[in-house]
Amino acid sequence: MAGLSLNLVLLQLFAGLALGAIYVLFAIGLSLIFGMLTVVNFAHGAFYMVGAYVGVYVLMLGGNFWVCLIVVPLAVGLLGLAVERVLIRPLYGRGIDYPLLLTFGLSYVMVELVRIAFGKTGFPFDTPEVLQGAVNIGVGYFPLYRLFVIGATAAVLLALWLFLEKTSFGLIIRAGARDPQIVRVLGVDVARVWLIVFGIGTAIAGFAGLLAAPLQGVIPEMGSTILAEAFVVTVVGGMGSIGGAVLAGLLVGVVVSMTSLFAPEMGKVSIFALMAVVLIVRPQGFFGRAGLMS
Amino acid sequence: MNEMTQPYRLAEAAPVSWFQFATRHRASIASLVVLVFPLVMPFTALAVNILIYGLYALGFNLVYGYLGLLSFGHAALFGTGAYLCGIAIVHFALPWYAAIPIGILGGLLMAALIGVLAIRTRGIYFAMVTMALSQCVYYLFYQAVDWTGGENGLRGINVRVVDILGVKLDFINPLTRYYVIAAFVIAAFFVLSRILASPFGAVIEAVRENETRAKASGYDVTVTRLLTFILSGGFCGLAGALQALHLSIVPIEILHYDTSGIVVMIALLGGMGTFFGPMVGAAAFLLLENLVSVWTVHWQLIVGAIFMICVLFFPAGIWGTLISRGKR
């Protein structure tokens, strides 16, 4: 343990926050969609993967990373809108399992379509030039791109918070999450709200996929791994709670990162151990409402 | 003269419909079908796959169809059965008849471990927790290279001769192999049928139909769920053990998320909560996969699309739709 300085631990902590930022973005979309539509989106990983591939495509066409940051959420969000409107809407009121099963089938279709369009092997994704290199953050040199990921996540969270708390549409969304029936009685077109929430959730997933691309590379299967880990995040944070998703996402990122420092091969297993502990101590998660579970 | 004054007539004994007959003799009928099955299949290897995946789906269906809990982690039960059976043969040089019960035991134990945690959550959480835990099992087996072979899979499960009470059967011969495996599947049919016909089987379905009422009737819902999940693990463990003997290798992909997904597709395609559904689903799914993969490498696209169509338009599945016709 002599080689482990405090600075190294702190640096690893920051690396964990960057990893956690991706989890946060992924889990927020998942939680937002579940909180409103009570749909567990098993295709969320596929939307994440499509986000990364749209980024690859924009770069192929000669665009740069900053164009990707705009185009990717829009494109993936539009895809999400179409999916909700055409495939998920007919299943409302037919039991909570059906939308889940449908999105599960959809994820196979999306992954295979991407394989047809872009091949099975995947792509490396270069870190944009401006964000290459490292900066001194006081405890040591930290990759600039990871700082950017943390910053971009914070910006998305802030924008989402302002949208939900300060706009009238956000008010409708919050009301709809609490009691869709009353909101409908008050004359709000709940179906349209659900459509837009699904679009926002998938757009954020696509954005997360783009941010993760320079860190992990781009392969068609990148979505299924993070899906299982994001489920851990939502179970730990409490399903349907955005605050829970943020806290648990960062916590899971830090736990993976810290475990990797001491026992590299146990990095991935540790988060499932975390979930097991939470399930035993507090089955509804940090911020979960007990009622949402049934 | 009104109806009240007419003497009450007993309804004539209704003729037993084919559906009632099939339900009463479900295990025997399924066994007969399994016995003649390879004669109508294009090649025996496919028939063996259908048997094993059908048994796997049978175990899954106990939890999803009869108990009403959607699990996305059954690969862990199937895979643990396969790995423990394989490890018993490769590392401990145990004979096949000892390795198979070890596989079943592995499925039971893994189901108990996962079940204890997952049963603490309900509803939609269950799918997520089981999926996450099975992913954890995948990583653990992946890391334990000395025991499992890690990424390369567990190799060297060579069972060439299966001897039963002095009779030596050639396990390399596809048809003999089929009937050896079929013997276990048939035994599983009778065990499952017995479980479902027992009072405990009625409690399982009561919990699915109305949890509150089952609780009010004095049944322990949590224990029922856990026991059913563990029983399901036994069937899936057996299926995994047979898969290990059949493939003579246990690939790490057996624990992958896709293996959990396939059984969900098979059960839904066949008809969940029906006795014959899983076998019908396995046959339909694997035949479809074989047909489509002759034509294109992108069979997942077709299979995924067909699954979505099923969810949207035929949620009762093939056998479930037939039953609802037959009941009319």
Model pLDDT, residue A94: 85
In Å, how far is B131's CA from the nearest CA of chain A? 6
Model pLDDT, residue B14: 56
Model pLDDT, residue A294: 37
- CB contacts of A113 in chain B (<8 Å) are 301
Q: Which two tokens stand for residue A233?
A: 């995040």
Q: Using the CB atoms, write b or e for B159-195: b if 16+ within 10 Å.
A: beebeeeeeeeebeeeeebbebbbebbbebbeebbeb
Mutate to test the interface with A, among B139, B288, B292 (most CBs of A within 10 A): B139
Residue of A nearest to B133 (CA): A272
For residue B230, pLDDT over 50 is answered with yes
The predicted-structure confidence for A61-106, as pLDDT tens digits, reads as follows 988 999 999 999 999 999 999 999 999 999 988 888 899 999 999 9
The predicted-structure confidence for A20-64, as pLDDT tens digits, reads as follows 999 999 999 998 898 888 889 999 999 999 999 999 999 999 889
In Å, how far is A197's CA from the nearest CA of chain B? 19
Model pLDDT, residue B328: 60
The predicted-structure confidence for B33-90, as pLDDT tens digits, reads as follows 888 888 777 788 899 999 999 999 999 999 999 999 999 999 999 999 999 999 999 9
| Distance separating alpha carbons of residues A31 and A177, to the nearest angstrom | 11
Contacts 24+ apart (CB under 8 A), B3-9: none
If one compares B102 and B296, the residue with the highest pLDDT of the two is B102
- CB contacts of B225 in chain A (<8 Å) are none
The predicted-structure confidence for A186-198, as pLDDT tens digits, reads as follows 988 888 989 999 9
Q: How confident is the model at residue B235 (pLDDT cuts 50, 70, 90)?
A: very high
What does the pLDDT average to over A254-275? 87
Interchain contact B122–A (C-beta under 8 A): yes
| Distance separating alpha carbons of residues B127 and A96, to the nearest angstrom | 11
> What single DSSP character describes residue B198?
S
Q: Average per-residue pLDDT in chain B?
A: 89
Percent of chain B surpassing pLDDT 70 = 95
For residue A292, pLDDT over 60 is answered with no
| Distance separating alpha carbons of residues A5 and B219, to the nearest angstrom | 56
| Distance separating alpha carbons of residues B277 and B199, to the nearest angstrom | 22
Model pLDDT, residue B58: 96
Model pLDDT, residue A36: 83
For residue B327, pLDDT over 70 is answered with no
In Å, how far is B2's CA from the nearest CA of chain A? 45
Between positions 130 and 169 of B, the ones with CB within 8 A of A are 131-133, 135-136, 139-140, 143
Interchain contact B210–A (C-beta under 8 A): no
Model pLDDT, residue A175: 85
Q: For residue B314, which of B266, B267, B271 has the smallest C-alpha distance?
A: B271
What does the pLDDT average to over A111-135? 90
Residue of B nearest to A89 (CA): B312
For residue A1, pLDDT over 50 is answered with no
Q: How confident is the model at residue A293 (pLDDT cuts 50, 70, 90)?
A: very low
3-state secondary structure chain A: CCCCCHHHHHHHHHHHHHHHHHHHHHHHHHHHHHHHHCCCCCCHHHHHHHHHHHHHHHHHCCCCHHHHHHHHHHHHHHHHHHHHHHHHHHHCCCCCHHHHHHHHHHHHHHHHHHHHHHCCCCECCCCCHHHCCEEECCCCEEEHHHHHHHHHHHHHHHHHHHHHHHCHHHHHHHHHHHCHHHHHHCCCCHHHHHHHHHHHHHHHHHHHHHHHHHHHCECCCHHHHHHHHHHHHHHHHCCCCHHHHHHHHHHHHHHHHHHHHHCHHHHHHHHHHHHHHHHHHCCCCCCCCHHHHC
The predicted-structure confidence for B256-283, as pLDDT tens digits, reads as follows 999 999 999 999 999 988 999 999 999 9
Q: For residue A234, which of A256, A252, A221 has the smallest C-alpha distance?
A: A252
Q: Domain ranges in chain A?
A: 21-128+137-218
